[in-house]
A and B are shown apart, each in its own frame.
Chain A
Amino acid sequence: MDETLNILIGGEAGQGLVTVGEILAKSLVRSGYYIVVTQSYMSRIRGGHNTFSVRVSPKEILASQEAVDLIVALDDLTLTLHEKDLTPQGRIVADQGCGADEKICLKVPFGHLASDQFSNIAALGVVSGLIGLKEEVVGRTLEDFFGKKAPGIVEENHRVLREAMVWTLSQPPFMGKLPPFPNPPQRMMMQGNEAIAMGAISAGLKFYSFYPMTPSTSIGQTLAKWAGKMGLVVEQAEDEIAAINMALGASYAGAPSMVGTSGGGFALMVEGVSLAGMTETPIVIAVAQRPGPATGLPTRTEQADLQFVLYAGHGEFPRAIFAPGTVEECFHLTRRAFALAEKYQGPVFILTDQFLSDSYRSIGPFEVEKLPLAEPSWDAVPASLPYRRFAVTENGISPRLLPGWSEHRVVAGSDEHTEDGHLTEDLSVRKKMVEKRLKKMGGIRREVIPPEFKGDKNPDLLLVTWGSTKGSVLEAASHLKSRGRRAGTLYFPQLWPLVQEQFLSMLQEARQVVCVEGNATGQLAKLIRQETGFEIKGRVSRYDGLPITPEFILRQLN
């Protein structure tokens, strides 16, 4: 938690807080820094209290931080709520009228620097000046964001930015600047949902349907933005039930398809998951978790839908579940999900959460020229005749033709069916079909991505985790090691199926094992016990709607 700078911008919804945050974050990425953004917002469009935190470092970081080094207060409430989070050397930027201590607060004459409409840009200028960003970089980023607005607005933005930076540099030294990068590397700024969208396009996605639901909506928004150029159909359905059924129809007709939603919307999709299992239709399902039950906390984060996603859908059928830990993993595991969905002809999940969905990071280039498409699982002509869509095979994978691309009839049925797809009540056929479908699990098991172990062998303390909590666990472990503790981490990027040969010995060899996850009941710990018999006794759980931070883990461990 050293060598980093944690900036918190706070204000009401509608004050342009996210705009300032995004421009600042992108300017930082363009200047060569690593960032982790945490967005905390209320379920309202105006008023209330929201924050946009950017943790900055010249070295790679994967976690957010609670302690704040610099508060940028766009309103008084931000000071009231967050002054207590300041580090001992922490500083504040606020309007000159505020009551904060002048020793730690830079009091800005916002009213003189800009009209109300542009005061957020003035705040951006002050922060940029303080931490040492170049006006050229921030100005270019500002233009990229507002490029299409009226020319008058663009000019005024530039004027306010320059004036605020000039004013800031004319003040006595207030805080240390970030170390500059002479030749910053070219990295992208992307959040989890955008990376899922890009991973999907690169794997061959052609159809996406969804019903808007926070925090998953920006997957659809990103895809819609590029749909025309990349030849995708993006459809906002009348409800989540329609969304998943549309995607299954498109997939049956041959378009690699995905849906995205969050807990409550996924609850509506569940019958469709079962339908995908029965009709053996490839589909990728992205579930961005938020706290439940029911509507819960719509804009906050949690990891409490693992068991739900694992068991969603009546009946027994194969599935795979991926839980990316970083924005890069959102990209790569989505690609992986498409490959598996195609190959094993069924539902594959990407399980994220609000923290990761909204968290901007600085990420390295994806060399998409070199990345293959998900291998399509359909054939142009049948390998043998008569063609049977659900032929019983050694590995359970049946030959897939697309309807309309040959004279062969392609029948998919939600009833139990014969090898040619027609409904049957022949109970011996039923038994064969259950076994055929479940056989595909064997192949999926052989392709499981093993959990990642890091740290000391036979550690005193092994921290087990999944999904977006990865970064905080890694950072907490490295902190413990720096204090002389033998610590290790075990991170699961894939949660189903679990293959115990890949990790059980690591659990057994640790003196103490603690499972760190964002839910109240220890869902991964339970799953590990169910699959291996190993009971993880230690728990670090968080379910107050905020992401698990390194500090949270260290506090809970003490």
Chain B
Amino acid sequence: MVTLKDYGDYETAWCPGCGNFSILKAVKQALVASQIRRQDVIFVSGIGQAAKAPHYLNVNLFDGLHGRSLPVATGVKLANPKMTVIVESGDGCNYGEGGNHFLAAIRRNIDVTLLVHNNQVYGLTKGQASPTSETGFVTKVQPEGVASFSFNPVAAAVALQAGFVARGFAGMVDHLALIIQEAIAHRGFSLVDILQPCVSFNKVNTFSWYKSRCKEVATDYDPTNWETAMKTAEEWGNTIPIGILYRNKRPSYESHFPALKEGPLVGKGVDRELLTKILESYR
């Protein structure tokens, strides 16, 4: 029986009031609800305030470089497909520095769950614009406001027919935990974009700003309908839809490798007789 206690309780280095606390809580709830033993999960994170989150969980962790969590997670999953692999990092890490890896992970449909703490601003480097900052968002290095168009991660993911696309809100912990649980259970790539306030550097998209806009999709919403999902993913205004926006049943990437049919690559040894035969083919 897996309990919250298994995943530990740690002191953090976040600002008081940070949305990360609620996300950490939701992640723990989801892991317990999924009854995943802590030794059966590997977290991968990058750099940023969000990327510290798995350090506050009693789990295996590869905390790598800024933007590079998805390739590391892909390598982990391909080496040991038996493990549950979860990436946790921020909007700058995944959509900025790691943008190419985000697209490639979706295309592969690798069975990795990507949790993006999306506060629409860079926290660790103190308040510069992120790829998801809204046009016009004013910062110390964008004093005239952000000129670029804001990146919509869920719309991009739905457009690419990602295996599982969801949006959650840090202010609705139980709802977020359910989404994360579904994302983990999904075989294939799953994205959970998590809206969260940054109390220090984002004075526009505050807790109450999100709270008044985030609305769960209707109970009869059909996430397997791509056209509807595309429309819903594009919605961003007075209403921001949250929930599971899209899902499909594409085969997951690791299922394509003959080498993985017999489980992890670890400790497999080498069939020397076969290798000798292969070498003979060079004669």
Categorize the interface residue count of chain A: 35 or more
Distance in angstroms between the alpha carbons of A209 and B73 in the assembled complex: 13
Contact of A230 (CB < 8 Å), options: B260, B262, B264, B275: B275
Contacts known (A247-B75, A250-B76); A206 close to B265, Cβ less than 8 A: yes
Q: What's the least CB distance linking A94 to chain B, in Å?
A: 32
Decide if A340 is an interface residue (CB 8 Å cutoff): no
Q: What's the least CB distance linking A191 to chain B, in Å?
A: 10
Distance in angstroms between the alpha carbons of A550 and B178 in the assembled complex: 71
Contacts of A408 in B (CB 8 A): 39
Decide if B278 is an interface residue (CB 8 Å cutoff): yes
- The interface-forming segment of A3-11, A98-106, A363-371, A530-538 is A363-371
Q: What's the least CB distance linking B3 to chain A, in Å?
A: 15
Q: Residue on B with the closest CB to A144?
A: B281
Decide if A202 is an interface residue (CB 8 Å cutoff): yes
Distance in angstroms between the alpha carbons of A227 and B268 in the assembled complex: 13
Q: Residue on B with the closest CB to A194?
A: B282
Jot down 23 A-B pairs with beta carbons below 8 A, ordered by A.
A30-B283, A188-B279, A188-B283, A206-B266, A207-B78, A230-B278, A233-B79, A233-B265, A242-B101, A251-B79, A253-B42, A253-B266, A254-B264, A275-B64, A366-B279, A403-B60, A403-B62, A407-B39, A410-B61, A411-B60, A414-B63, A421-B61, A423-B52
A interface SS class: mixed
Q: What's the least CB distance linking A198 to chain B, in Å?
A: 7
Given contacts A245-B75, A403-B62, A423-B63, 17 further A-B pairs with CB under 8 A are: A189-B283, A206-B265, A228-B258, A230-B275, A233-B78, A242-B104, A245-B72, A249-B64, A249-B71, A249-B72, A250-B75, A252-B75, A254-B265, A272-B68, A279-B64, A411-B62, A414-B63
Contacts of B83 in A (CB 8 A): 253, 403-404
Distance in angstroms between the alpha carbons of A247 and B73 in the assembled complex: 10
Q: What's the least CB distance linking B5 to chain A, in Å?
A: 14
Q: Residue on B with the closest CB to A205?
A: B270
Q: Residue on B with the closest CB to A408?
A: B39
Contacts of B59 in A (CB 8 A): 409
Q: What's the least CB distance linking A306 to chain B, in Å?
A: 25
Decide if B217 is an interface residue (CB 8 Å cutoff): no
**By the criterion CB–CB under 8 Å, are B75 and A248 in contact?**
yes
Residues facing B in A143-198 (CB within 8 A) are 186-190, 194, 198
Decide if B204 is an interface residue (CB 8 Å cutoff): no
**By the criterion CB–CB under 8 Å, are B282 and A253 in contact?**
no
Decide if A508 is an interface residue (CB 8 Å cutoff): no
Residues facing A in B45-94 (CB within 8 A) are 47, 52, 55, 58-65, 68, 70-76, 78-80, 82-83
Interface string of B254-283 (1 = CB under 8 A from A): 000111101011111111111110110011
Distance in angstroms between the alpha carbons of A248 and B63 in the assembled complex: 12
Contacts known (A206-B268, A207-B265, A255-B265); A404 close to B72, Cβ less than 8 A: no
